[in-house]
């Protein structure tokens, strides 16, 4: 059973990539838009079913490993699915499933559905590939697949100068970032003679690895250089301050379903990769613990995370464009996620575990909540034909189901019990309180309080103010039911907190003990 699940998960990424590349060929002969909607829904559903099965198998049977081409790791590329990557892959495919369904309704605003779905399926392929890979070079390949798809989707409305400018800014700096990560992988291979994450984890702790029993060159310096380059890439992909500058332009200019994917899913990859590098590969007791380099990295991450959380929250308050409002909210929440990642600076194993659990939890909570808000508010944007918050005033009264979904999403991100956002923030807060690092706990509270002001303002404007205009579009019932159904995930993540906490504990353990899990 486990072998079958591993094979399916291994085949998922190339299958999605192949499905994406086939679409332009179909476009030469088939002109029926319904075909492309159905085609994309079918593959999104297949991805959801496969990751769900894999998640169940990982929790029942342990780690799943798939060796591409039959080459055993570390000689060949392997996908390695543990509790952490399995959970995040399931979450990613579930949110993408809602986004693809929403795209059917949004299709009226898409001129060329062939290229739209080509890029969207390519994005999903890259997302899942980044999460499931057990090879640091294959992570680079999947980052490129993800990034190229994202650049194309940001520039989808190529007749808009602002969209082209945003995509160029995103693509140019993104290409520099992925190049730096490529250099990082070269340094790692030059020093360790392997790219397999498990092999690297063993050797970085000074033990005999699967491939070699020694290093080439000065391993401490090489490791520190490689990590520095890689973390610059990861913080850029996550839009963590000060590498956040591309996000406020890119997300608003993209089609609404793409904005949901960018803010809810794409930014998570950098955070996940940081967790893998700093805990799974170069964790406690590894070669970078010497000379306090690992502590220095965590301290830097904590400072940047605190600034990102507070600056993002402050800039939310002054936005008139609702998509930019949500984009700055993303920057703030990414700061909270990285605060959890930085909990390793405490030196306390208990605080570190809680911080990792909080980071994983908040990745899921923020991803669901932010994608939900983009999709739900996208309905109001379509009805008003404007992204200006004042133009959307009172429109929530016209769409009660959508308003309920927006209210749940806002309360979820604000951290109101019993929604999931409350519990993940509680984890993050507890990680620093336990060890007495009060300033970072205070930064978390301050950022949340400032964000709450912005969320209250948004709810007041959309639902309580007198309507600024009548809806220009009669929105169908099905899309409103869809976003309302998605909002139930926010409730599930909180109400089922006890079960979720067990899954998080297993995920944190798999990150910390990659060589034995």
DSSP 345-358: GG--HHHHHHHHHH
Backbone angles phi, psi at 133, to 5 degrees: -65, 145
Average pLDDT over residues 243-259: 86
Backbone angles phi, psi at 342, to 5 degrees: -75, 0
Please tell me the distance from the alpha carbon of residue 24 to that of residue 332, in angstroms, as a whole number. Answer: 38
E strand residue ranges, 68-190: 78-81
Distances from the Cα of 74 to the Cα of 141, 298, 379, 403, 513, angstroms: 17, 29, 48, 51, 18
pLDDT of the residue at 186: 92
What's the distance, CA 183 to chain centroid?
A: 23
E strand residue ranges, 286-401: none
By residue count, the chain amounts to 517
Taking a C-beta distance cutoff of 8 angstroms, is the pair 335, 362 a contact?
no
**Residue 47 pLDDT level (bands cut at 50, 70, 90):** very high
**Residue 1 pLDDT level (bands cut at 50, 70, 90):** very low
In sequence order, what are the residues at sequence separation of 6 or more whose Cβ sits closer than 8 angstroms to the Cβ of residue 493? 364, 365, 368, 412, 419, 420, 423, 500
What's the distance, CA 258 to chain centroid?
A: 13
Taking a C-beta distance cutoff of 8 angstroms, is the pair 209, 199 a contact?
yes
E strand residue ranges, 239-289: none
473-501: pLDDT as tens digits: 677 789 989 999 999 999 999 889 888 88
**Residue 97 pLDDT level (bands cut at 50, 70, 90):** very high
**Residue 517 pLDDT level (bands cut at 50, 70, 90):** very low
Side-chain half-sphere CA neighbours of 301 within 13 A? 31
Please tell me the distance from the alpha carbon of residue 9 to that of residue 331, in angstroms, as a whole number. Answer: 31
Mean pLDDT of the chain: 87
Most confident of 67-81, 197-211, 293-307: 293-307
Q: Which two tokens stand for residue 178?
A: 């992925």
Please tell me the distance from the alpha carbon of residue 446 to that of residue 330, in angstroms, as a whole number. Answer: 16
pTM, rounded to two decimals: 0.91
313-346: pLDDT as tens digits: 999 999 888 999 999 999 999 999 999 998 887 7
Kindly report the number of other CB atoms within 10 A of residue 244's CB atom: 26
Side-chain half-sphere CA neighbours of 470 within 13 A? 1
User: Nearest to residue 98, comparing CAs of 383, 369, 471?
Assistant: 369
**Residue 437 pLDDT level (bands cut at 50, 70, 90):** confident
pLDDT of the residue at 272: 94
pLDDT of the residue at 5: 61
Residues in a beta bridge with 358: none
pLDDT of the residue at 515: 57
Please tell me the distance from the alpha carbon of residue 404 to that of residue 436, in angstroms, as a whole number. Answer: 39
In sequence order, what are the residues at sequence separation of 6 or more whose Cβ sits closer than 8 angstroms to the Cβ of residue 331? 239, 240, 241, 244, 247, 248, 308, 311, 312, 315
Kindly tell me if the per-residue pLDDT of 207 is higher than 70.
no
């Amino acid at each position: 059973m486990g072998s079958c699940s591993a094979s399916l998960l291994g085949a998922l990424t190339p299958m999605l990539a192949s499905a994406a590349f086939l679409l332009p060929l179909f476009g030469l002969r088939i002109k029926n838009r319904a075909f492309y909607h159905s085609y994309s829904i079918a593959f999104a559903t297949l991805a959801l079913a496969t990751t769900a099965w894999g998640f169940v198998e990982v929790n029942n049977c342990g780690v799943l490993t798939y060796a591409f081409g039959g080459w055993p790791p570390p000689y060949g590329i392997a996908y390695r699915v543990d509790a952490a990557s399995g959970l995040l892959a399931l979450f990613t495919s579930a949110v993408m499933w809602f986004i693809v369904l929403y795209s059917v309704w949004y299709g009226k605003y898409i001129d060329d559905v062939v290229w739209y779905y080509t890029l969207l399926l390519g994005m999903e392929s890259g997302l899942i590939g980044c999460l499931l890979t057990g090879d640091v070079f294959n992570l680079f390949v999947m980052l490129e697949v993800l990034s190229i798809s994202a650049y194309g989707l940001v520039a989808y409305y190529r007749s808009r100068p602002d969209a082209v400018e945003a995509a160029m800014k995103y693509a140019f700096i993104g290409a520099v970032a992925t190049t730096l990560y490529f250099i990082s992988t070269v340094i790692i291979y030059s020093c360790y003679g392997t790219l397999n994450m498990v092999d690297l984890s063993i050797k970085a702790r000074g033990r005999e690895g699967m491939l070699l029993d020694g290093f080439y060159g000065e391993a401490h310096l090489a490791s520190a250089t490689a990590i520095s380059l890689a973390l610059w890439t990861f913080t850029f992909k996550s839009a963590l301050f000060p590498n956040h500058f591309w996000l406020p332009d890119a997300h608003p200019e993209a089609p609404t379903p793409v904005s949901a994917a960018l803010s809810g899913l794409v930014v998570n990859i950098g955070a996940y990769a940081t967790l893998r590098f700093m805990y799974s590969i170069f964790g406690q007791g590894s070669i970078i613990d010497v000379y306090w380099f690992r502590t220095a990295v965590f301290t830097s991450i904590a400072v940047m995370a605190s600034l990102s959380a507070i600056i993002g929250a402050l800039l939310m308050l002054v936005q008139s464009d609702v998509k930019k409002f949500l984009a700055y909210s993303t920057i703030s929440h990414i700061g909270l996620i990285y605060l959890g990642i930085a909990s390793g600076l405490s030196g306390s194993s208990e605080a570190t575990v809680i911080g990792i659990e909080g980071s994983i939890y908040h990745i899921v909570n923020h991803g669901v909540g932010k994608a939900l808000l983009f999709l739900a508010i996208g309905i109001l944007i379509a009805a008003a034909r404007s992204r200006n918050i004042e133009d959307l005033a009172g429109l929530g009264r016209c769409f009660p189901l959508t308003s309920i979904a927006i209210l749940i999403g806002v309360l979820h991100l604000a951290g109101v019990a019993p929604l999931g956002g409350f519990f993940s923030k509680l984890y993050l807060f507890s990680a620093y309180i336990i060890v007495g690092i009060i300033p970072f706990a205070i930064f978390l509270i301050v950022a949340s309080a400032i964000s709450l002001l912005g969320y209250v303002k948004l709810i007041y404007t959309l639902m309580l103010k007198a309507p600024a205009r009548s809806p220009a579009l009669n929105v169908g019932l099905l899309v409103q039911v869809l976003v309302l159904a998605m909002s139930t995930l926010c409730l599930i993540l909180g109400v089922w907190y006890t079960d979720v906490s067990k899954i998080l504990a297993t995920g944190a353990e798999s990150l910390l003990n990659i060589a034995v899990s």
